[in-house]
Amino acid sequence: MPVVAAAGPHGLWLANQHSTRPDLILINPQTGQVMARPRLPGGSGPVTGLATAGGSLWILIPDGAFPPGWRVLRLNPATNRVDGISAGTPGSQLTGHTAAIWASSGQIWVTGSMYVIVGLDPRTLALHTTATANLSGGLVFGGGHAWALDTGRPSLAVVDPLTGQVIRTLTTPPPSTTGDDYVVSGPDLLWVFRGSRLSQLNPATGHIITSARIDPVAPAFYSPALIAGRSLWYLAQTSHGTVLDRISPARVTRRQ
pLDDT tens digit string along 86-123? 988 764 444 445 788 999 878 999 998 888 899 999 99
The torsion defined by the Cα of 188, 192, 198 and 202, in degrees rounded to 10, comes to -30
Number of domains comprising the chain = 2
Q: 205 is in which domain, residue-wise?
A: 154-256
Q: What's the gap between Cα 256 and its chain centre? A: 27
Residue 194: give its domain's CATH number.
2.40.10.480
- Enumerate the β-bridge partners of residue 224: none
- The verdict on whether omega for the bond into residue 67 sits within 30 degrees of 0, i.e. cis, is yes
Residue 148, domain member (yes or no): no
Taking residues 67-92, what's their average pLDDT?
Answer: 84
How far is residue 82's CA from residue 125's CA, in Å, rounded to a whole number? 13
pLDDT at 94: 47
Q: What's the gap between Cα 101 and its chain centre? A: 6
116 CB-near residues (< 8 Å, 6+ apart): 90, 93, 129, 130, 131, 132, 136
Type of residue at 225 = A
**DSSP code, position 161:** T
pTM for this structure?
0.81
Show which of 113, 142, 171 is a domain's final residue.
142
Same domain, 32 and 88: yes
